[in-house]
Every structure is written in C-alpha cells, then in structure tokens.
Amino acid sequence: MTHLATFAKEAGAHHTRELGRQADEHPPRLKAFNAQGERIDEVEFHPAYHQLMKIGLQGGVSSRAWTDPAGGQIAHAALLYMMSWADSGVTCPMSMTYAAQPILRRADWANGWAESARAPDYDPNAMPIEHKSAATIGMAMTEKQGGSDLRANTTRAHALSDDEVELVGHKWFCSAPMCDAFLTLAYEEGGLSCFLAPRWRPDGSRNQIEIQRLKDKMGDRSNASSEIEYRSAYARRIGAPGRGIATIIQMAHHTRYDCMIGSAAGMRQAVCRAAFHVSQRTAFQKTLIDQPLMRGVIADLTLESEAAIALTLRVGAGFDLSADNEREAALSRALTPLAKFWICKRQPDVVSEALECFGGVGFVEETGMARLFRTSPLNAIWEGSGNIMALDLQRALSDEAVRKVFNEELKRIAADIPETETLASKLRSERPDNLRLFAQQAALVFSADALTDPSLRKMYVQTRITHPTPIWGAFGVQVDLDNPIVRATSWMLG
Ligand SMILES: Cc1cc2nc3c(=O)[nH]c(=O)nc-3n(C[C@H](O)[C@H](O)[C@H](O)COP(=O)(O)OP(=O)(O)OC[C@H]3O[C@@H](n4cnc5c(N)ncnc54)[C@H](O)[C@@H]3O)c2cc1C
C-alpha cells in the first residue's frame, strides 16, 4: 500500500475523526506559571490533540514535501487535505513547520533546526531542541498595529553579536506557541529583519518568550493562538539584515498554499457530509437527493469543491516545477495570491449552503457542520486577507517576466477553452481599476483550466463564466448534473 493510502486509512478512520472532535471540544489552556510562581509559559492540550499531532507529523504532513521532493508538494497537499478532515486546528503548526523549511535552509547554523523540523516525528516535550526527536516551528509577525502592514511592527532587536540579538516587543497573534522556535520579524539598525527565536536559550535556560494569554477564537479551537511578549528573548538573524519581509515571504508562499489546501478540504468535507445527509433523508415522498432543486445545489457545491482542489494542485505542481523552471516560478508568483484569494473566500459560502442542506439539524453541534462553519472564514484572514492577496497579485504582475507568463497562460487557456476568450483577453489587456474583480475573474479562468474532467469543466464554464448567478444551484442554462452528483455520492457505495 502506498504511503498516501496508508495515511488515508489512519487520518480518515472514525477513531481519528473522533480525536478531532475531542480536541476541538477541549481547547488548550495556558499554564503561565509553575507551583512556585515561576514562569513556564506552557500550554496544556487534551490528549486527543497530541495524538492528532503524532498522526500528522509521523505521516509526513510537514516533512514529505522536502524529504521526497519529486512531486513532493502534491504529496504534501494530499496529506494535509486528509489531515484537515480529522481536525483543521492541528494543521496550523504542521503547516508552519512545513513552510519554514525554505527559510531554515538558508543559514548553515540553522541546519540542525531544518533537520529537526523535517523529521517525521512529534515530540511534545518542552525542552531544548538537542534533546528532542523533532521540532515544530511557528511564526510571529502580527502586532496590534500591524498585521497586513508588517512595516508597522515595533518589536526591536538589540545586537548581542553579528547575528545574535535580544528581542523586545509584543506579538498580537502567535499560533501554536508551544512550537520549538518562532520565525519573527523585528527592527534592527539595518531595518526589518527575520529572526529565529527558540523556546530555550543556548545556555539551556528558558527563553524570555512570555505567553500573555490565549485567544478565545470562534473556530480553530483545538489550536492555541496566543499573544506573546519578547522580554529580551534570545534570537538569531536568518536572511539578510533589513530583508525580513523578503525572507519571511518564502514561508508565507507555502503557508498560503496550505490555506488553499485547508479550504479545499473544508469545502469537500462539508459537501460530502451534505451529500450523505440528503441521500438518507426523505421529504415529500422522495429522498432529498432526488428532489430536483437539491440535486442542483449538491451538484453546484461539488463542482466548487472540485475546482478548489484542482486549482490548488495546479499551484502545487508549479511549486514542484519551480526549482528548475523559470516560467513556472514566475507563474507561481502570481497564481499563489490569486488562488489563495479565491479558494479561501469560497469556503464560508460553500460550507454555509452545505449546512443548509441538513435543515435544522445542521445548526446543531453533533453534526459537525457548526464546527466546519466556524472555522471556514479563517484561511481567508490568515497569511494575507483578501485585499492583501489582490494587492499582492498586482505587485506580482508589475514584474514584466511574471506578467508575460501570466498573459501567455491566459492566451493558451483561451485557445483550449474558447468560451473563456472574452474574459481572458480582457484580463490580458487590463490594468485593472478594481483588483478584487480582476482577481475573481482571473481565478475563474485558471480554475476552469485546472479542471481536467471535461464535463466538470464545461459546467464550470457555463455556470461561472458564461451564465453566472450568485445563488448555488440557480442555473441560467441547462447543465448536466449527473457527473457531479456521482462524484459527490459514489464514495458512499464503497
Ligand atoms: C486564527 C488565527 C491565527 C493566526 N496566527 C498567526 C500567527 O501564528 N502568526 C502571525 O504572525 N499572525 C497570525 N495571525 C494573524 C493574521 O495573519 C492577521 O490577522 C492577518 O494578517 C491580518 O492582519 P490584521 O489582523 O492586523 O488586520 P489588518 O491588517 O488591520 O486588516 C484588516 C482588514 O483590512 C484589510 N486591509 C489591510 N490593508 C489594506 C489595504 N492597503 N487596502 C485594502 N484593504 C486593506 C485586510 O485585508 C483586512 O480585511 C492569525 C490570525 C488568526 C485569525
């Protein structure tokens, strides 16, 4: 059995889903002090959380892309997608650990960190990295006055040596604060730089990273998100001085990919649950799935979830090819913010409609739909909210090489799918006034292209490009619903 199939069995098992429910229902608690009143700044999790972390990390969610690089980013997507079904909260530290790898590989002194972060293991012990079998890595960028606007950060780095510093400042959102180290932005003389701040100082004492409190979040509840204070915390610069944003953006590129994967998984899960429910439930003498209006809704939601994973995998293939393919690297620069913008934005809409398919019971916690719904807006916010993605797309396209490849792709797609020609040619010539509209329209064209199944592609073009309507299942043209319905329900037979 291949690794992915083995992982699927474990991540998809009823027992694992149950762990996800437990981890979500028993959120982490801050243990700021020990009995003697000394700071320990630890977080206590339910045992189910640790078991999920073990399943994911030992299964390679954070490491596989780097330890087995041929097609590694696609394999990563498959693993993360499956893990998200069990619980999306635990995927946060897994994503950050995966995404830190390109940065950790930049400095010789960080080799040990890079190695520990890609070790396929989970070691929850709070102790120096030398004594651990594996590490997890977090990121601390957002401050109260600056999340999107990172240049507004005020955390200061005071030099101890050439590249060692002590950090002083507050970070307003730092998820998974039990990670072994945090990639952190702070100002030093040379400007805003990126640093790695470990939980333990080189002398083996606890680093002065104080967890002030854990956020009371609307979703993502198994995952701890914290406010932290650096009180002369030891850290070491990684990347060039003053190039902090350029350094950390390599991590953000990958976490944005993971946002797409997580959102695609959230949508697919919602649709499968809805499809299952309406296949069992009878109303007005018919199983709901056979009621024409419900067929349309399920088909439409299925199409959206299929388009989301198809576009995500197109981005992943670009990541895999980028190392020795300049064209793919340039295209990837534009497709990443574009796909993050679109896919993450679709998630709450899809989940909400899927929840409605359940009727009243969808509003009740036991179905799991409320949990899916509460978490559904998260990926659109984290790692660059919608407007920031639209602005980043514009920034990417201001690079001539990127714009050229982007336009060439639009031209190729228009040739392959003639119905996209009008929109694609507008996008090729446009210096857009409305970046959100530009991003939306470009995402539709690239999504249609990413869908390789001919009948799904046809339906996507008909319902999103040539005859769009804002309501799920409200088609302005005759569409073939059979294929998406089969794709939404066939798994129930096996
Ligand atoms: C569950 C969760 C976990 C998180 N974990 C982490 C973490 O581990 N580490 C970390 O560093 N951060 C983390 N964050 C923070 C997150 O990355 C930020 O919240 C996000 O980047 C937005 O920043 P902000 O909250 O300061 O919003 P703001 O920057 O104030 O933005 C508010 C709104 O204004 C929009 N906006 C901003 N600038 C412009 C503009 N120029 N034009 C038009 N619109 C604009 C944004 O798109 C957004 O919709 C987390 C957030 C959440 C919800």
- Strand 191-198 to strand 225-237: parallel, antiparallel, or no bridges (unpaired)? antiparallel
- The pocket around ligand 1, CB under 6 angstroms, is made up of 138-142, 147-149, 173-175, 217, 220, 225, 378, 381-383, 385-388
The architecture that CATH gives domain 3-242 is Beta Barrel (2.40)
The architecture that CATH gives domain 246-492 is Up-down Bundle (1.20)
In the reported structure, the alpha carbon of residue 151 is separated from the centroid of ligand 1 by a whole-number distance in angstroms of 13
* Predicted confidence pLDDT, tens digits, the chain (494 residues): 599 999 999 999 999 999 999 999 999 999 999 999 999 999 999 999 999 999 999 999 999 999 999 999 999 999 999 999 999 999 999 999 999 999 999 899 999 999 999 999 999 999 999 999 999 999 999 999 988 999 999 999 999 999 999 999 999 999 999 999 999 999 999 899 999 999 999 999 999 999 999 999 999 999 999 999 999 999 999 999 999 999 999 999 999 999 999 999 999 999 999 999 999 999 999 999 999 999 999 999 999 999 999 999 999 999 999 989 999 999 999 999 999 999 999 999 999 999 999 999 999 999 999 999 999 999 999 999 999 999 999 999 999 999 999 999 999 999 999 999 999 999 999 788 899 999 999 999 999 999 999 999 999 999 999 999 999 999 999 999 999 999 999 988 76
Nearest-CA neighbor of 86 among 9, 4, 21? 21
Amino acid type, 334: A
**Measuring from atom 43 of ligand 1, which residue has the nearest CA?**
387
Atom of ligand 1 nearest to the CA of 141: 11
Largest CA distance in the chain: 77
- Domain limits of the chain? 3-242, 246-492
pLDDT at 433: 86
pLDDT at 28: 98
In the reported structure, the alpha carbon of residue 12 is separated from the centroid of ligand 1 by a whole-number distance in angstroms of 32
Q: Could you tell me how many helices (H) and strands (E) the chain has, helices first?
A: 18, 11
Sign, Cα dihedral of 66, 383, 376, 136: positive
What is the rounded CA–CA span in Å between residue 223 and residue 269? 19
In the reported structure, the alpha carbon of residue 190 is separated from the centroid of ligand 1 by a whole-number distance in angstroms of 25
What is the rounded CA–CA span in Å between residue 480 and residue 462? 10
Q: Which residues contact 15 (CB under 8 A, 6 or more apart)?
A: none
pLDDT at 491: 85
Instruction: Give, in order, the Cα–Cα distances in Å from 363 to each of 148, 312, 331, 368.
Output: 33, 29, 41, 9
DSSP per-residue letters across 2-37? -HHHHHHHHHTSHHHHHHHHHHHHS--EEEEE-TTS
In the reported structure, the alpha carbon of residue 360 is separated from the centroid of ligand 1 by a whole-number distance in angstroms of 33
- The SS3 call for residue 175 is strand
